[in-house]
Every structure is written in C-alpha cells, then in structure tokens.
Amino acid sequence: MFLRPTTLREAAQALSEGGQVLAGGTDFFPALGTKPVTGTIIDVTRIPELRGVDLSSDHVRFGGTTRWSEIAAAPLPRCFDALRAAAREVGGLQVQNRGTIAGNLCNASPAADSVPPLLILDAEVELTSNSGVRRLPVRDFILGNRKTCRRSNEILSSVIVPLQFKDSPSIFLKLGARRYLVISITMIAALLSNDGNGRVGEARVAVGSCSASSQRLLELERDLAGQTLRHGLSSLVCASHLSTLSPIDDVRASAAYRRDATLTLVRRALDGCVEAQS
C-alpha cells in the first residue's frame, strides 16, 4: 500500500499501524537492490509542516523533508556555512533536489554529510509519533553504522539548531577519491568562536567517515579554547587528538591514509576558520 498523507498527524497515525517512511527515496530505493517494495509505504513529502527552513531569534528549524538544494540556498547565519557547504556536496544536483535532511540522519551512514556540521552546532532532532513528540541531540540520536534510536512509529519531523554561535564562521571539508559525486574518505566540520578579545571562545571540530558514526574531537576542542585566534593555530593539532577515531580499511582508502588525511584536513579547516574571522 502506498500512502501520501498531507498532515503530520495523519502520517503518524498511519505509521503507528506499521509501514516505512519514504522521503526523497535516494537512500531508500538503492537499499532495496533488486528486491520489490513490500508493506505499507508512507510518503511524507506532501506534508507542509515538514517543509522549509525557519529562522527565529534563538534557533533555526529545518523541517524534516527540507531538501539539500533548499538548505544550500537558504539565507542563514555564518555558523551554518559548514552545513550549507555539506548540502552542496551531497551527491549531485539531482540528489540534492530530492534528498532530505531527515533521510540523511535516519539512514545514519558513517559517511552522511550532514552529521559533522550538525554536531558542531549542537543540533537536536524532533521525533513525532501518535503518542507525542520528543527531542534529543543528534549525537544521541545516531547510535552507530546505520543505527539510530528512532522508534518504528516515529517520524523525524524537524532538526532544531540553537543560535549560540550565530556569527562564528564554520567550515566543511570533504575528501573523496574524485572531486564530485563522491562518498567521503574523511570529512571535517569546524567552528571557532571569538571570545571578543581575539581568543578562541569555543572550538568545535567533528569528523565523519572515520568511525561508526561521526564524532567530535573533544580533547582538541578543549586544547583550542582560550588560544589566540591567529594564523598557525592549526599547528597545535597532533595525531593524538585523533585517538578516538577508528577508521577502517576499505575500497575507498586504508585506515592509515584516513588518519593522515584527517590530520591534514582538520588543520586546514582550522586555518580556514581563522581566516574567515578577519
């Protein structure tokens, strides 16, 4: 059965009776391989409550079915530069015109481009079911490779980002085996806030594709806080700051190459954040 509800309430009711959520289908259909679609499919792309980007004084809300091309084009504060850059790197234009932010998070690939930029912003997901709404940080929502704590009756209705770093520039860097339409070997999102006295207030650095799910480099963030915001700050980054990562050898790269490339990219991302402050 194929359902196309037009309200969130209807969709939640339908999902409570079983079935699978479908948004852009850019992960859903490839994952089927040659298998036919079975069971109830609930297409959530006709629900106005799930669309668009809303900017308020203290947060930004992305409806779950907001597409990558909409995020790339949205007029957002500088702290979203990394997320908007990531939006432009998700597949090609066709994929960006179909693929959604909620689909990327629910699919929970270790190489999901949205996750590092959302982790550095302390983003939260809102999950709606016919028994209510709950909110939790993205870092707690994604449990591992293709694993989330979404309950089978829940729809990821929105992604909410507090505006704590509003004017702090952020950077997203993605390394793949070629320039376009590529799954990352490693990717970095970074943000440095200025404490008003030319020093780092808060530092945020997250790495994707180098562990079962993207993660922040908390020790590095602590070491960066309070440092003078100057060219050369990135020389503070050393291999031990990456010790919590667990990159794998696969067809795209060896674990050793991933570690090495990540170190270089983290340094470049921090240089970029310093440069963007001036």
Residues forming contacts to ligand FAD in the complex (CB under 6 A) are 20-28, 30, 44, 64, 89-91, 95, 98-100, 102-104, 106-107, 112-113, 155-156, 183
CB 204 within 8 A of CB 190: yes
Of residues 94 and 235, the one with the C-beta less far from ligand FAD: 94
Minimum CB distance to ligand FAD, residue 99 (Å): 3
Minimum CB distance to ligand FAD, residue 158 (Å): 9
**β partners of residue 62:** 53, 159
Of residues 79 and 90, the one with the C-beta less far from ligand FAD: 90
Residue 244 structure tokens: 């919590």
Minimum CB distance to ligand FAD, residue 229 (Å): 30
Of residues 45 and 194, the one with the C-beta less far from ligand FAD: 45
Minimum CB distance to ligand FAD, residue 194 (Å): 30
Minimum CB distance to ligand FAD, residue 103 (Å): 2
Rounded Cα–Cα distance for residues 69 and 100 (Å)? 9
Of residues 12 and 200, the one with the C-beta less far from ligand FAD: 12
Q: How many CB atoms lie within 10 A of CB 62?
A: 28
CA dihedral 131, 133, 134, 137 (to 10 degrees): 140
Q: Among all residues, whose Cβ is closest to ligand FAD?
A: 103
CA dihedral sign of residues 211, 216, 220, 224? positive
CB 27 within 8 A of CB 103: yes
